Amino acid sequence: MTTDTTQTPPEQIVYSNMLFYGCWGSLALMAATYLLYVLGVLTPHVPLDTVTQLWSQPVKTYLAQGNVPTGWGWFKLIGKGDFINFAGIVLLAGMTILCYLPLVGAYFKKKEPIFAVIAILEIVVLLVAASGVVGSGGH
């Protein structure tokens, strides 16, 4: 019988736990906000009858007739029934960024600055990509 003497580093446990619970929390948030929408608790920005009329149209027609913003413009409509569900989607998509944050401190504490810098760079790259500044993501 062999004994496994390796141990998972604590920062990896924190990362995996945050990712696990964050993903499930994001899915729960999406389900809850979807219910708010379909049950009519929150008024939608684009009425449901308009959405069904525009289903067969190009997306540009939907955006124009529904007065729907592009990019991060949806955020100003977060209180509307058809846009509140974006909160769960953004949380789910951003979980990797959130999970990297405690790694930075943990690596500096362990005196592993190279790994800390890599984690910082990863956060910066993901934030820039999500922002849409360089023409990718954020659309």
| DSSP track, 62-79 | HHHHTT---GGGGGGGTT
Is the Cβ–Cβ distance between 92 and 99 less than 8 Å? no
Which two structure tokens, joined as six digits, stand for 139?
């659309």
What does the pLDDT read at residue 4? 66
b vs e for 47-65, b when ≥16 Cβ sit within 10 Å of the residue's Cβ?
eeeeeeebeeeeeeebeee
What does the pLDDT read at residue 2? 61
> Can you give the pLDDT of all 139 residues of the chain as single tens digits?
666 668 999 999 999 999 999 999 999 999 999 999 999 999 999 998 898 888 899 999 989 998 999 888 999 999 999 999 999 999 999 999 999 999 999 999 999 999 999 999 999 999 998 887 776 544 4
3-class secondary-structure state, position 139? coil
What does the pLDDT read at residue 5? 60
- For the chain, state the CA radius of gyration: 20
Amino acid at 70: T
* Spatial CA neighbour of 88 closest among 18, 17, 22, 37: 22
Which two structure tokens, joined as six digits, stand for 4?
């496994």
Is the Cβ–Cβ distance between 139 and 71 less than 8 Å? yes
